[in-house]
Amino acid sequence: MPLGGSECYTAQDMHGTYWIYTMGCQMNERDSETLAGLLQAEGYRPVGNPAEADVLLLNTCAVREKPEHKVFSLLGEMLRHKRERPGTVIGVCGCVAQVQAEAIRVAAPQVDLIIGPRNYADLPALLAAVRSASPASSAAACVALDSDRSIPEGLPAARTNTVTAYVNITYGCNNYCAYCIVPYARGPLQSRRPEDILREVQGLLDAGYRQITLLGQNVNAYGQDLDGAVDFPELLYRVDALCRGQRVRFTTSHPKDFSPRLIEAMRDLPSVCEWLHLPLQAGDDEVLARMGRGYTASRYREIVAEAREQIPGLALSTDVMVGFPGETEAQFENTYRLMEEIRFDQAFTFKFSPRSGTAAASMGDAVPEPVKQARLQRLAEMVARVARERNREQLGQEFEVLVEEERPKSPGQVRGRTRGNRLFILPGSPELIGRMVRARAEEAYLWGFKGRAVLPVG
Ligand code: SAH
Ligand code: SF4
Ligand code: F3S
C-alpha cells in the first residue's frame, strides 16, 4: 500500500491510521518504508491528510541548519493537530531526533516519541506504551536513541515504488568528515551480511522490481567491519549475478576508498548502470585535508580520468560545499576550476552549515555569509551551464529508459531515467511503467531530456 496514499480511514478503525513526513536523503526515504512497514504490521493504515491520522511521524534530517529549522516549524503544525485531536501520537524520528532530542523535548514537550535511526525496531513497543498510557502519565516522551546499536534483519518494509527499490548495504559511517553530523546521527559503520543483502535483492526481483539501488553513506567501506571476505566490488559481482536484465545502482561512493576493482566491476557487469555519484566536497588540497576527506584534488582527477576511460558513457555527479571555515578566495577558485575542468553531469552545491558537535563547528574563521552566498551562486551557475551543455551534446542519441511513472498532471506522458540517471520524459501510457524503453533524445534541459520511444526493449 502506498505510503501517505489517498485512502481515508477514521479514528474508529480498529488499529488506527498514520501519516509520515520524510525529509533528507535516500537513507531516510528507505527508513520511512521500514517505519510504515512496522506500523502496517501492527494493523495501522496510511492516510494522506495529517489531520486524520492517529499517529504522525516526522522523519528528520540534520545535515544542515535549514532542514533542522524546518523540523521545528513542522512540529508546530503537528502540535496543532494534536490540540484538535488530543489522542494523536506525535513521533520525531531520524537524524534530528538522535542529535537534538533534548531541544525537541524543550521546544515541544507534547511530542510522544523520539526515536533515532538505529532504534526503529522499537517503534511498535514504544507506540503501544504511549497509546496505553493515561494522558496524565504520558507527559514524558518515550525516547530510544542507542546510536551504536546494531540494526536487526527482517524488519518489514512498505515500499513506495513498484519499479525501483532501495536496499541498504551499510548503516552509519566511521569517517567523521569535519563538517558532517551523519556519524553522530547514524552511529558507526554496520555492514549487512552479503547473504542478507542478496536475499532481499532476490525477493525484490521476484516481486517484479527492475532497479535496485544499493545504499550506504560510503558504499566503498562495505565489509570493512565484517570478516573481510566480501568487499564492495565483490558484493556488486554477486548482486549483478542475480540482476541480469535489470538495473543496479549504488550511492554514495567515497573517493578515499575507491578501488580500481570497482571501476572494473562497473565496466564489466551488465546490470550496473554507468552512473557514479562521487562527492568531491572541495577542489583544494588544504581544504580537503582540513575536512578530513583523505584524498587530494589530483587523486580525484585521476579516479575520474580512469573511470571515464574504462566505462564508456559514464555519467558523473557530485556534491560540493563552499564556505568551509577558513576557505580563501584562491581555495574557492581551485574548487571552481576543478569542477569546470571535470564537467559533471550533475552537481549538488551547498553552503557550509556549522553542525554542533562536529570538528568544523569549533574551527572558527567562519566565511562571512555574503561571501558564501556569492561563491555558491557563481558555482551553481557554472554547474547548471555545464549540465545543460552536456545534455545538449547528447541530443539525437538513443537511451535505455526505465519508465517509473506517469508524469504528474500530464496524462499521456511518462517519465523514467536513463542508465546515467538523467530524467527522460516521453509520450506513453501507464502500461509502460516498469518497462525498459529505447528512446531518442529530442530536447535537452538542465534536468535531462524529452524524446520518444524508438522501440520497447523488455
Ligand atoms: N555520505 C556522503 C554524503 C552525506 S551528506 C558522502 O560522504 O559524501 C550529503 C551532502 O551534504 C554531503 O556530500 C555534503 O556535500 C553536504 N553536507 C554535509 N554536511 C554539511 C554541512 N555541515 N554543511 C553543508 N553541507 C553539508
Ligand atoms: Fe559524512 Fe563523511 Fe560519512 Fe559522508 S563519509 S556521511 S560526508 S562523515
Ligand atoms: Fe540528513 Fe541524516 Fe540523511 S542528516 S542527509 S537524513 S543521514
24 lines ligand 3 (CB under 6 A): yes
pLDDT of residue 142: 85
Burial class (CB in 10 A: 0-12, 13-18, 19+), 370: exposed
Q: Look at residue 157 and tell me if it is in a domain.
A: no
pLDDT of residue 455: 73
Q: Look at residue 17 and tell me if it is in a domain.
A: yes
Q: What is the mean pLDDT of the chain?
A: 93
- Same domain for 252 and 323, yes or no, is yes
Distance 60 CA to ligand 3 centre (A): 8
Please tell me the number of Cα atoms within 13 Å of 443 on its side-chain side: 7
pLDDT digits (tens, 9 = 90+) for 260-304: 999 999 999 999 999 999 999 999 999 999 999 999 999 999 999
The residues, any chain, with a CB within 8 Å of residue 377's CB and separated by 6 or more, are none
Distance 446 CA to ligand 2 centre (A): 27
- Same domain for 221 and 350, yes or no, is yes
Beta strand pairing status for 423-427 and 190-191?
unpaired
- Same domain for 249 and 112, yes or no, is no
Domain count within the chain: 3
Q: Look at residue 379 and tell me if it is in a domain.
A: yes
Percent of the chain with pLDDT over 90: 90
Domain final position from 392, 408, 439: 392
- Same domain for 31 and 111, yes or no, is yes
Distance 395 CA to ligand 2 centre (A): 36
The residues, any chain, with a CB within 8 Å of residue 252's CB and separated by 6 or more, are 216, 217, 218, 219, 277, 278, 279
- In terms of Cα–Cα distance, which of 347, 28, 314, 57 is closest to 166? 28
- Same domain for 362 and 440, yes or no, is no
pLDDT of residue 2: 34
Phi, psi of 215 (to 5 degrees): -115, 140
Confidence of residue 220 (pLDDT cuts 50, 70, 90): very high
pLDDT of residue 456: 53
- Same domain for 181 and 325, yes or no, is yes
Ligand 3, from 22, 60, 63: best to mutate by most atoms within 8 Å of Cβ? 63
Instruction: Give the span between the Cα atoms of 452 and 425, in whole angstroms.
Output: 8
Helix axes 26-41, 123-132, angle to 10 degrees: 60
Q: Look at residue 189 and tell me if it is in a domain.
A: yes
Task: List the domain range (segments joined by +) for residue 88.
Answer: 8-144
- Same domain for 262 and 402, yes or no, is no
Give residue 138's Cα distance to chain centre: 34
Angle at Cα 70 formed by Cα 69 and Cα 72, nearest 5°? 70
Q: Look at residue 155 and tell me if it is in a domain.
A: no
Burial class (CB in 10 A: 0-12, 13-18, 19+), 38: buried
- Same domain for 267 and 140, yes or no, is no
Instruction: Give the span between the Cα atoms of 68 and 92, in whole angstroms.
Output: 12
Q: Pick the ligand that lies closest to the CA of residue 61.
A: 3
Phi, psi of 248 (to 5 degrees): -125, 135
- Highest mean pLDDT out of 103-107, 194-198, 405-409: 194-198
pLDDT digits (tens, 9 = 90+) for 373-390: 999 999 999 999 999 999
Q: Which residues line ligand 1 (CB under 6 A)?
A: 63-64, 179-180, 182, 217-218, 252, 254, 279, 281, 319, 321, 350, 352-353, 355
- Is the separation of the CB atoms in 274 and 420 below 8 Å? yes
Q: Pick the ligand that lies closest to the CA of residue 100.
A: 3
Angle at Cα 387 formed by Cα 272 and Cα 269, nearest 5°? 10
pLDDT digits (tens, 9 = 90+) for 24-51: 999 999 999 999 999 999 999 999 999 9
Residue 396 to residues 124, 256, 274, 411, 452, Cα–Cα distance (Å): 53, 37, 19, 25, 11
Contacts made by residues 385-390, CB under 8 angstroms, sequence distance 24+: 386/339, 386/340, 386/343, 386/344, 387/344, 387/345, 387/346, 387/347, 387/446, 388/444, 388/445, 388/446, 389/343, 390/343, 390/345
Confidence of residue 137 (pLDDT cuts 50, 70, 90): low
Domain final position from 113, 144, 175: 144
Describe the strand order of the beta sheet including 164-168 as a list of residue ranges.
164-168, 211-215, 247-251
Protein residue whose Cα sits closest to atom 24 of ligand 1: 352
Residue 157 to residues 33, 165, 185, Cα–Cα distance (Å): 5, 11, 22
185 lines ligand 3 (CB under 6 A): yes
Domain final position from 368, 392, 416: 392
- Same domain for 404 and 283, yes or no, is no
Give yes or no for residue 203 having a pLDDT over 60: yes
**CA-based radius of gyration for the chain:** 23
Phi, psi of 423 (to 5 degrees): -65, 145
C-alpha cell at 32: 520511512
- Same domain for 403 and 373, yes or no, is no
218 lines ligand 2 (CB under 6 A): yes
Q: Which atom of ligand 1 is nearest to the CA of 320?
A: 15
Beta strand pairing status for 448-456 and 17-22?
unpaired
Give yes or no for residue 357 having a pLDDT over 70: yes
pLDDT of residue 134: 62
Q: Look at residue 75 and tell me if it is in a domain.
A: yes
What does 47-106 look like in DSSP terms, one character per residue?
-S-GGG-SEEEEEE--SSHHHHHHHHHHHHHHHHHHHHSTT-EEEEEHHHHHH-HHHHHH
Report the predicted TM-score, pTM, of the whole model to 2 decimal places: 0.94
Q: Look at residue 3 and tell me if it is in a domain.
A: no
Instruction: Give the span between the Cα atoms of 49 and 448, in whole angstroms.
Output: 32
Task: Provide the CATH number for the domain around residue 410.
Answer: 2.40.50.140
pLDDT digits (tens, 9 = 90+) for 2-16: 333 333 333 444 479
- Is the separation of the CB atoms in 262 and 235 below 8 Å? no
pLDDT digits (tens, 9 = 90+) for 59-105: 999 999 999 999 999 999 999 999 999 999 999 999 999 999 999 99
For residues 194-211, give the mean pLDDT.
Answer: 98
pLDDT higher for 456 or 157? 157
Q: Which atom of ligand 3 is nearest to the CA of 25?
A: 3
Protein residue whose Cα sits closest to atom 19 of ligand 1: 180
Cβ neighbours, 10 Å, residue 44 = 22
- Is the separation of the CB atoms in 425 and 395 below 8 Å? no
Residue 172 to residues 97, 117, 186, 257, 378, Cα–Cα distance (Å): 15, 9, 5, 16, 33
- Same domain for 388 and 404, yes or no, is no
pLDDT digits (tens, 9 = 90+) for 161-182: 999 999 999 999 999 999 999 9
Instruction: Give the span between the Cα atoms of 332 and 321, in whole angstroms.
Output: 10
46 lines ligand 2 (CB under 6 A): no
- In terms of Cα–Cα distance, which of 321, 318, 317 is closest to 360? 321
pLDDT of residue 135: 58
- Highest mean pLDDT out of 11-15, 400-404, 452-456: 400-404
- Same domain for 182 and 210, yes or no, is yes
Q: Look at residue 1 and tell me if it is in a domain.
A: no
Place of cell 517519465: 415
